[in-house]
Amino acid sequence: MADRRTLVLSVDRDDDLGFKACLEGPVVGREACLAAANALALVDPEDSDVNAIFQAVKVADGLAAKSEEVEVAIVAGDHLHMVEGDRKIARDLERVIARIGATECILVTDGAEDDFVLPIIQSRIAVSSVRRVVVTQMVNLEGTYYILKKLIDDPKISRPLLVPVGLAMLLFAGASLLGYPDMATIAVVGVIGVYLLFRGLGYEDIFGSSYRALVTSLSHGRFTLVTNLAALLLVVIGAITGVTATVVHYMGGDQANGVFMVLAFAYGAVPWWVVAALVSQSGRIIDLWLGERGDFRRILLLPFLTLAAGLLVYGAAIYVLAVNRAPEFPILAEAGLQYLIALSLAALVSFAVGLWIQRSARRAEQAEDLVRVPAE
């Protein structure tokens, strides 16, 4: 019992301390935690983390009154990126445990969201108790409206909720104005379906990584900055071209089919998007060639794979639209199969050339290593 030291821990997973009160975590000590709670309360008195921090201090005071060795601390995550925030919580918790020599932990949270970090905490220290703080309030119509308004103002909720709904409404209005009411419903359902797939499969992390890479390139002045900006412009042009091709070549009436709509969009957008990917990848290759030579060989095959995939998709779109005689489609049905075969062969050649270049680069690197070893 003499060697037991308890840590009363308040977890601010969405980092309201840093985002609202501009306080850097972790916060250790009774006075420091009270100061942090007061600072957050002055910025946002309605934040539930304020009550959680005060509850953690109260629990620590109760244990201290019983002559127990106890310390109170706050660890915070990240306001927008939960994965990185959970990693930050793990690192800060290890620092706090090493600093105060805690042997067990009492966890204080402000809601179910913070319970996601419980396995992380349990992997670092024994958790002897979990205390959840629930703020008592009168539930009425006005209070419900205010809660919804606060949720919409939160970027963590408004971005994934309002952006797809707004985009779907714009597509519906645009298609209706162009005189394609049937396609408007298909476009809205398609956009929502693609968004749900991206969220469900975790592809939004890829776009988040691309955005952070663009910001990093801007701060470091790398060559990828120019190529990424050019690629972004090409992506926008490709999307506009794809929508235009969908409106022109989409087959309505008895031939209405979501597959035809997707292929018509691909016919207009894929060439631009393939060029955008190649432009972006060229900047990355140049940066690796000038700096990180060790990763240069691994990325050499990527542009050729991108080109091969684009050729296959483009060829399939041409073939299906030509065979089914899409409205105003410039390629006849007899030539559709020829385009598919020619583009498929070009895709195979692109992939083969990429493999040959990658293997040549690997052999050149191995030859350099053999020359370097005797010299050393």
Complete DSSP assignment for 146-204: HHHHHHHHSHHHHHHHHHHHHHHHHHHHHHHHTT-HHHHHHHHHHHHHHHHHHHHHTTH
Count of structural domains within the chain: 3
Which pTM value belongs to this model? 0.42
Q: Of the ranges 192-206, 211-225, 314-328, which is most confident?
A: 314-328
Based on the domain organization, do 360 and 238 belong to the same domain?
yes
Based on the domain organization, do 163 and 32 belong to the same domain?
no
The arithmetic mean of pLDDT across residues 53-70, rounded, is 91
Residue 3 has a pLDDT of 72
Based on the domain organization, do 371 and 234 belong to the same domain?
yes
Based on the domain organization, do 191 and 256 belong to the same domain?
no
Secondary structure of residue 8 in the 3-state scheme: strand
Task: Give the end of a domain, one of 161, 177, 201.
Answer: 201
The arithmetic mean of pLDDT across residues 236-263, rounded, is 72
Based on the domain organization, do 194 and 313 belong to the same domain?
no
Residue 54 has a pLDDT of 92
Based on the domain organization, do 307 and 369 belong to the same domain?
yes
Task: Look at 18-27, 88-97, 154-163, 165-174 and tell me which has the smallest mean pLDDT.
Answer: 154-163
pLDDT > 70? residue 136: no
Tens-place pLDDT, residues 217-245: 555 546 677 788 888 889 888 888 888 88
b/e per residue 199-222 (b: at least 16 CB within 10 A): eeeeeeeeeeeeeebbeebeeeeb
* Contacts with 358 (C-beta within 8 Å, 6 or more apart), sequence order: 297, 300, 301
Half-sphere exposure (CA, 13 Å, Cβ side) for 138? 3
Based on the domain organization, do 251 and 182 belong to the same domain?
no
Q: How far apart are CA 343 and CA 359, in angstroms?
A: 24
Domain for residue 172, yes or no?
yes
Q: Using pLDDT thresholds of 50, 70 and 90, give the confidence band for residue 172.
A: confident
Task: Look at 184-193, 238-247, 252-261, 327-336 and tell me which has the smallest mean pLDDT.
Answer: 252-261
Domain for residue 138, yes or no?
no
Domain for residue 167, yes or no?
yes
Based on the domain organization, do 68 and 94 belong to the same domain?
yes
Domain for residue 335, yes or no?
yes
Instruction: Please give the single-letter amino acid code of residue 150.
Output: K
Based on the domain organization, do 158 and 233 belong to the same domain?
no
Task: Give the end of a domain, one of 156, 172, 201.
Answer: 201
pLDDT > 90? residue 77: no
Domain for residue 272, yes or no?
yes
Based on the domain organization, do 178 and 249 belong to the same domain?
no
pLDDT > 60? residue 137: no
The mean predicted confidence, pLDDT, of the chain is 77
Domain for residue 63, yes or no?
yes
Domain for residue 324, yes or no?
yes
The larger pLDDT score, comparing residue 283 to residue 208, is at: 283
Q: Tell me what percent of the residues of the chain surpass a pLDDT of 90.
A: 11
Based on the domain organization, do 81 and 152 belong to the same domain?
no
Domain containing 228 equals: 203-375
Task: Give the end of a domain, one of 105, 132, 159.
Answer: 132
Based on the domain organization, do 156 and 281 belong to the same domain?
no
Domain for residue 137, yes or no?
no
